[in-house]
Structure 1
């Protein structure tokens, strides 16, 4: 990956899907913390969906809500990310989904990358 400063308060790169602009100013591009949290939330949700389906639970809809805590005393560092999954489907039980969430957490590369420096909490509800 190559990122180029665009002289408009941000960096840009080009991917197969299109151009990505990253900036500390959310009016100029995606903020770095938004991308980090998005990566963790989407990776975790994707792995969870796969685990649920492998365990023969069908997923009709899956939403991931991310609540972020930052520490302004330490360069606004991310300290805690709470992921809350809202799942709709067939064959879902609290016990089965809880086990799937635990298994998915161990297999999400993005979550595992930050697990020693950011507290990650996962909860769920079945619709």
Structure 2
């Protein structure tokens, strides 16, 4: 069928989850009975979104020979009020740092990730209003 992820209960609200590239620990906050010893499931979805788009961007920067010092992606998401709570608004902020940034090429790279390559972005669009913001930090 494709990728297989297996998740093992470790007691309380802690789980160990395998992934084709490694494993990670999932846990809940102490407020709801967890131990605060792992990643939160919903927040991991945001990390997956940033990671998927980030990998696209890193590959496209290399392919299009665009020079930057670094970049980061900050995602601010809002959950619905009613259960089951899910992200219904997602703001993605792409921050690029460098000297004499080629804003036109960087925008094209982000657009390619967001509109064409990032499968996680496409999944998010099925249930959330997603907005994209690109910020250029020239030094």
TM-score by length of 1: 0.84
Verify: 1:28 aligned to 2:37, yes or no.
yes
Per the alignment, residue 125 of structure 2 pairs with 115
* Greater length-normalized contact order (CA 8 Å, ≥ 6 residues apart): 1
| Contact 1:69–1:79, Cα closer than 8 Å, also in 2 | yes
Q: RMSD of the TM alignment (CA)?
A: 2.2
Matched residue of 1:72: which SS?
coil
Contact 1:79/1:117 (<8 A) preserved: yes
Report the equivalent of 1:13: 17
- How many residue pairs are counted as aligned between the two chains? 127
Structure 1 residues 95 and 79: CA distance shift in structure 2, 3 A: same
- On the 8 A contact 1:101/1:122 being kept in 2, the answer is no
Q: Which runs of 5+ in 2 are unaligned?
A: 30-34
Which stretches in structure 1 are left out of the alignment for 5+ residues? none
Matches within 5 A, 1:1-127: 1-14=5-18, 19-25=23-29, 27-89=36-98, 92-105=101-114, 106-127=116-137
- TM-score (normalizing by structure 2): 0.78
- Shift, 1:46, TM fit: 1.9
Structure-2 separation of matches of 1:77 and 1:6 = 25
* Contact 1:9/1:28 (<8 A) preserved: no
